[in-house]
Structure 1
């Protein structure tokens, strides 16, 4: 596991910390690090520490007036997007908020957690084949 000082932290505000922990650990391969539910928990996947802040946590304080929430999302790379979508649907998840979109960099779909936070599942495009150059 990555040392805590090497983790990138992202905070998601959630209405139900236990439901969020269950979602991320059961379906997306995160491991529980700290559980102070119902106020707070954090889960880890590789170098990402996802802080799940419930209504009673200090991290859930209101943002200053005039600011609105962004369209931020965590970006999880998968090897086979179609297989991942099938696995999640077989597990009963139907919270996809987009269709599969393809571009030059790869394919993606958006999923929402129980609180409506976005997760982008992304399959990179195959690397272009390179040709070996002839020697001198």
Structure 2
């Protein structure tokens, strides 16, 4: 049995989400994350290896408006990047589960990638390095 990494050893990424519980279910069911803590509907965090993904709803402190009135919201193009060993098998598995994709698999000199979306529209890149 391995010991989970100490919080100081984790990489922390925050995603704004529309529904914290739906996001917990998505990441733990489809992408191999483990629930670390939940204060749904405001906040939860899930982990995968050394990644801690903070899922912040509109009622969390991270969801408060900026001084100029802009409201934090999900989506955009910044994304977490998950390494997979067989991108075609992962895409088939996730498509059969009804997940949303932004594109088809793209291949370049470094490998192959595809973008899926979580239930709030945040992108996740699945990446298979070249030669694997």
- TM-score normalised per structure 2: 0.89
Runs of 4+ deviating beyond 3 Å: 63-70
Deviation of residue 65 (structure 1)? 3.7
Residues 42, 59 of structure 2: 8 Å contact kept: yes
The runs of 5 or more residues in structure 2 that have no matched partner are: none
Q: Aligned pair 1:110/2:115, yes or no?
A: yes
CA distance in 2 between partners of 1:89 and 1:40 (Å): 27
* Residue of structure 2 equivalent to 1:134: none
Moved more, 114-123 or 58-67: 58-67
- The change in CA–CA distance for 1:64 and 1:118 in structure 2 (over 3 A counts) is farther
CA distance in 2 between partners of 1:123 and 1:63 (Å): 37
Q: Which has the larger radius of gyration?
A: 1
The runs of 5 or more residues in structure 1 that have no matched partner are: 128-136
Give the number of equivalent residue pairs: 126
- TM-score normalised per structure 1: 0.86
* Residue of structure 1 equivalent to 2:80: 74
Residues 46, 52 of structure 2: 8 Å contact kept: yes
CA distance in 2 between partners of 1:104 and 1:55 (Å): 39
CA RMSD for the aligned pairs? 1.9
Deviation of residue 91 (structure 1)? 1.6
Residues 76, 122 of structure 2: 8 Å contact kept: no
Alignment match of 1:46 (pick from 49, 58, 70):
49
* Residue of structure 2 equivalent to 1:16: 19
CA distance in 2 between partners of 1:29 and 1:63 (Å): 33
